[in-house]
Chains A and B, each alone.
Chain A
Amino acid sequence: MKRIYSVLVENRAGVLCKVAGLFWRRCFNIDSLAVGETDDHTVSHMVIVSSGDDKTLEQIEKQLNKKLDVIKVKTFSEQEAVSRELMLIKVHYNRTNRRDIMENCSIMGAQIVDMSGSLMTIQICDTPERVQMFLDTFKTIRIVEITRTGTLAVTKCSESGKDG
C-alpha cells in the first residue's frame, strides 16, 4: 500500500539527511522524496511517498514525529491528495520520429522546452501515473537524460477541513 507523508521540517543543514537516514536505518521504503522551502523560510516541506503494510506505515509516521527537526506530519492516501510530478526528458530525435514525439506531447500536454539539431528536452507536469505513462511512450526513442522531481502532493481541498 502506498502512503504520502507531507512533512514540515526545520529548514536547517542536515535535516534531509536525518529524515532520509531514518528511512534507511529502519528499512522503510522511499518511493519518492521531494523537498523545498515553504513561504516561511525557516520551514521546509518534504513530500515522501512510501509503501508497506499498515504497521510499517504507522511506524513511519510515529518515527517521523519523533524526530526533533520535524514540525508536523500529515499522512494521506493517493486518493485523498492532489499529486503532481515534473519530469524533464532529453531525447534524440530524427526526421522519422519527430512528428510522433510532438503528437505525444500534444496529447499528454507536455511541452518542448529546449531543442537542437538532434536533441530536444520535453517537460511534463502531471500526476505521477500520467508522467509514467508519458515516459512509456519513449520506449523506441533514444533517451539521453531524465530527471524527475518526485511526487509533490497536498490534500484535496475537500479533505482540508479534516486537518486544517
Chain B
Amino acid sequence: MTGAEAIAKCLINEKVEYVFGYPGVAIAPLFDSLYGTQIHSVLIRQEQNAAHAASGYARISGCPGVVAVTSGPGAENLITGIATAFADSIPLVCITGQVDSTLMGSDVFQEADISGACESFVKYSYIVRDVQDIPRIMKEAFTIATTGRKGPVLIDVPVDVQHEKLSHFFYPEEVKMRTYKPTVEGHAVQIKKVISELSRAKRPILCAGGGTFLSGAASLVRIFAEKYHIPVVCTMMGLGVLPTDHPLFFGMVGNNGDACGNRAMNEADMIIMIGARVADRSISQPDLILKGKILVHIDVDPAEIGKNAGPTIPLVGDVSHVLQAFLKEDIRVSCDDFISQLCAYRKQWKEQKEEARGKNSPDGCVNPAAFIHALSEAMDGNAVYVADVGQNQLWSCTNCIIREGRFLTSGGMGTMGYALPAAMGAQLADPDRQVVAVCGDGGFQMSMMELSTMRQYHIPAKVVVLRNNTLGLVRQYQHLHLHDRFAVTDLGEYPKLEYLTGAYDMEYIRLTDNADIQDAVRRFLGSENSVLLEAHVSKDALA
C-alpha cells in the first residue's frame, strides 16, 4: 500500500463522503487513490472555495470537511479558506501536496512552505516525513479538528511520501497525545456558582454564539431557556439558536445587531455567554457594557475566557455538557418583569423593522429588507440560508426569518465569496434540504466560477445576488465617514447576469420592483432548475 492509498483508507475509516479540491502533480497520487472508492472527489474551480465548500459541508453535516489541493499555488490559494474556517472554529482536514521531500527547502517549482504560512490560523499542522506515520497523523488530525475548540488542521504530504510503500497499515482507534486534553466537562463548583447566581438574578440573559452549533447544543439552549424562562439573544454566529419568532428570543447583539438585542444586554444584571467570544463586533466596549453585571462565560477554549472581558464566573467546558449539567439543577428564576420589558422593546423594534420594510425604493430597485424578509419567510422551515459578506449579510442578519433552519455566514473573518461555495457544501451535506446563498454582486464575483461546479455536480442550491453595482458596505462607510468620496467601490455594470446564467444553463429571475417580490420569490423557490435571482437594490440603501 502506498502513502496515498493509506490516506484514502484513513478517509474511508473516518467515513468521509466528499473531498473538495483541485489536483496538481503533487497531490495527483492521492486523487488517484480516491478514484473509484466510495469517496466523491469534487473538483472546485478555485482552491479557496474548496475550503469554503468543506466549511458549509461541516456546518450542516456535523462531520469535518476534507480538502485536498496541490503544492505551491494550490496550497497558497487555500490560505484564505483555512483562515476563514479558523476564525469560525469550523473543523476541516486540509491535505496539501508538497514537492519531493528531498527537494524541500530548495525553492523548486511549485514549492511553498504552507505549514509555515498557515501556522497562526490552523489548529495544528503536520509535514509528513515518514510514510509509516500516515495512519497516526490522519487519526490525530481528525481528532484535533473535531474536538475541543474545533478548527482546521493542515497535513502537508510530499509527493514522494505519497508514492512510498507502507510496511503495515493500522488505523488507531484513539490518539495518544500527551499535549492534547481538551476540557469537556464544566467544573462542578463553577456550575453551582452559576446556578446560585441565576436563582438570584432579576434580569438574566443568555447570549449564544457559534459555539452552541459547533457543540451540537442549539436545542439544549432552547430547552434551558424554556425550562427556566430566561430571555435569549445571540451573536451573528449564533443566529438560529432559537427561531426568530420564539417568545424568548430578543434579537442579535453587536454593532450590526438589533436595538432590541443590545438593549436587552445593556439592561441585564447577569449575562451568560454561551460559546461566544465576546468579540469586538458583538461587544465593542466590554468594560462599559459589563460594568456592574455578573458575566458568566462558558467556552471550551480557556484562552477565550478573560481575553476580551474578565468574567465573574469563568466556566471552561463543552457547551452541551455544561448545559446538560445546568438542566439537572432545579431552581426558580424570576425575571418576568424583565421579560415584559424586553417584549415591549421587541414590539417597538418589530414595528420599526416593519416600517423599514414598507419604505419605497428608487425606481428599478427593491427594498432589500422587504425582499430578504419575504424570501426567508417563504423558505422551508428547515432551510439553510447562507449569507455572504457585506451589506447583504447585515440585511440578512436583521431581516431573515429563521425557524428550524440554519443561518451560515463568515462571521469571524468576513470573507467575501463565502456564500456560494459554502452553500454547495451545505447542499451536499443534506441534499433534501433547501439551501439558498444570498450574495452581493462583489462577493458573488469572487466565487461565481463555482456556478460551473454546481451545474456539473447537479447541486441544486439556489443563488440570490443583490445587485447594486457597488461594494455597498464600503460605499456606505465612505458615505458616512469619508465625505462621499467613493474611491474604488464602483463595480460597473458587468457581468450581465442574464447572459452569465445562460452560459451555465441556469434559470434567471430579475427583480426590480417591490410589487413583484412575492411572485419572484415564489418562482425562485419553486423552480426545479438551477436558478439565480438578481434583485436590484439601490446604491444608496444603508444596512
Measured CB to CB, the residues of A under 8 A from B are 10, 14, 17-18, 21-22, 25, 55, 58-59, 62-63, 65-71
B144: nearest residue on chain A (CB-CB)? A68
Partner of A65, one of B116, B178, B302: B302
B86 to chain A, nearest CB (A): 12
Partner of A71, one of B127, B178, B303: B178
A64: nearest residue on chain B (CB-CB)? B303
Bound together, the chains give a CA A85 to CA B144 distance in angstroms of 38
Beta-carbon contacts under 8 Å, B271-327 to A: 301-303, 306-307, 310
Partner of B179, one of A22, A25, A59, A69: A69
| Inter-chain contacts of A70 with B (CB < 8 A) | 179
| Inter-chain contacts of A71 with B (CB < 8 A) | 178-179
A94 to chain B, nearest CB (A): 46
B115 interface hit (Cβ, 8 Å)? yes
Partner of B116, one of A17, A22, A62, A69: A17
Task: Name which of B51-59, B117-125, B367-375 contacts chain A.
Answer: B117-125
B177 interface hit (Cβ, 8 Å)? yes
A67: nearest residue on chain B (CB-CB)? B179
Question: Interface size (B, Cβ < 8 Å)?
Answer: 18
| Inter-chain contacts of B123 with A (CB < 8 A) | 68
B35 interface hit (Cβ, 8 Å)? no
| Inter-chain contacts of B124 with A (CB < 8 A) | 68
In the complex, are the beta carbons of A14 and B180 less than 8 A apart? no
Bound together, the chains give a CA A25 to CA B180 distance in angstroms of 22
A-B contact pairs, 6 of them (CB 8 A): A10-B179, A17-B119, A25-B120, A55-B306, A69-B179, A71-B178
In the complex, are the beta carbons of A66 and B144 less than 8 A apart? no
B539 to chain A, nearest CB (A): 38
| Inter-chain contacts of A67 with B (CB < 8 A) | 179
The winner among B116, B178, B179 for most chain A CB atoms within 10 A is B179
A115 to chain B, nearest CB (A): 40
Beta-carbon contacts under 8 Å, B118-171 to A: 119-120, 123-124, 127, 144
In the complex, are the beta carbons of A66 and B179 less than 8 A apart? no
Measured CB to CB, the residues of B under 8 A from A are 115-116, 119-120, 123-124, 127, 144, 177-180, 301-303, 306-307, 310
| Inter-chain contacts of A17 with B (CB < 8 A) | 116, 119
Bound together, the chains give a CA A17 to CA B118 distance in angstroms of 12
| Inter-chain contacts of B119 with A (CB < 8 A) | 17-18, 21
- Please name the 4 residue pairs, one residue from A and one from B, whose CB atoms are nearest each other, closest first: A62-B303, A25-B120, A68-B124, A66-B303
| Inter-chain contacts of B177 with A (CB < 8 A) | 68
In the complex, are the beta carbons of A66 and B306 less than 8 A apart? no
Q: A17-B119, A68-B144 are in contact. Are A59 and B303 (CB under 8 A)?
A: yes
In the complex, are the beta carbons of A68 and B180 less than 8 A apart? yes
B301: nearest residue on chain A (CB-CB)? A66
A66: nearest residue on chain B (CB-CB)? B303
Bound together, the chains give a CA A21 to CA B116 distance in angstroms of 10
A22: nearest residue on chain B (CB-CB)? B120
In the complex, are the beta carbons of B302 and A68 less than 8 A apart? no
With A14-B116, A55-B306, A62-B307 given, name 12 new contacts (CB 8 A): A17-B116, A21-B119, A21-B120, A22-B120, A25-B120, A55-B310, A59-B306, A63-B303, A69-B179, A70-B179, A71-B178, A71-B179
| Inter-chain contacts of B179 with A (CB < 8 A) | 10, 67-71
B290 to chain A, nearest CB (A): 15
| Inter-chain contacts of B178 with A (CB < 8 A) | 71
Q: A17-B116, A25-B120 are in contact. Are A59 and B307 (CB under 8 A)?
A: yes
| Inter-chain contacts of A25 with B (CB < 8 A) | 120
Partner of B303, one of A18, A21, A65: A65
Bound together, the chains give a CA A131 to CA B161 distance in angstroms of 49
| Inter-chain contacts of B307 with A (CB < 8 A) | 59, 62
Bound together, the chains give a CA A25 to CA B119 distance in angstroms of 10
| Inter-chain contacts of B303 with A (CB < 8 A) | 59, 62-63, 65-66
Bound together, the chains give a CA A65 to CA B144 distance in angstroms of 15
In the complex, are the beta carbons of B302 and A62 less than 8 A apart? yes
In the complex, are the beta carbons of A58 and B306 less than 8 A apart? yes
| Inter-chain contacts of A58 with B (CB < 8 A) | 306
Bound together, the chains give a CA A37 to CA B119 distance in angstroms of 23
Q: A68-B123, A68-B177, A71-B179 are in contact. Are A14 and B306 (CB under 8 A)?
A: no
| Inter-chain contacts of B180 with A (CB < 8 A) | 68
A24: nearest residue on chain B (CB-CB)? B120
Bound together, the chains give a CA A65 to CA B182 distance in angstroms of 11
| Inter-chain contacts of A55 with B (CB < 8 A) | 306, 310
| Inter-chain contacts of B115 with A (CB < 8 A) | 14
Bound together, the chains give a CA A69 to CA B144 distance in angstroms of 12
B288 to chain A, nearest CB (A): 17
B178: nearest residue on chain A (CB-CB)? A71
| Inter-chain contacts of B310 with A (CB < 8 A) | 55
